């Protein structure tokens, strides 16, 4: 499951604690701020879900250079 969208330079990534390779990633700035208004309704729902289950299903999010510039 991956909620990836096109991003400019960085992505905020939530990795699964249980399933290797499962993650949510969202475009963000260098400080990890996600522009919620720019997300699709489904991506926004996934973003709030991932934040809600940090520590139970996903790791703390981290900022990394975006794979798709």
Given a cut of 90, whether residue 4 has pLDDT beyond it is: no
According to the model, what pLDDT value does residue 3 have?
47
| 44 phi, psi to nearest 5 deg | -65, -45
Return the half-sphere exposure (C-beta side, CA atoms, 13 A cut-off) of residue 54. Answer: 11
The residue-averaged pLDDT of 35-64 equals 97
Given a cut of 70, whether residue 69 has pLDDT beyond it is: no
DSSP-assigned states of every residue in 13-49: EEEBSSSTT-EEEEEE-TT----GGGS-HHHHHHHHH
pTM here is 0.82
According to the model, what pLDDT value does residue 47 have?
98
């Amino acid at each position: 499951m991956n909620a990836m969208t096109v991003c400019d330079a960085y992505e905020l990534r939530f990795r699964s604690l249980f399933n290797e390779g499962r993650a949510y990633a969202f475009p963000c700035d260098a400080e990890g701020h996600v522009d919620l208004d720019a997300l699709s309704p489904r991506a926004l729902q996934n973003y709030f879900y991932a934040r809600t289950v940090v520590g139970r299903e996903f790791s703390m999010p981290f900022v990394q250079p975006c794979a798709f510039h």
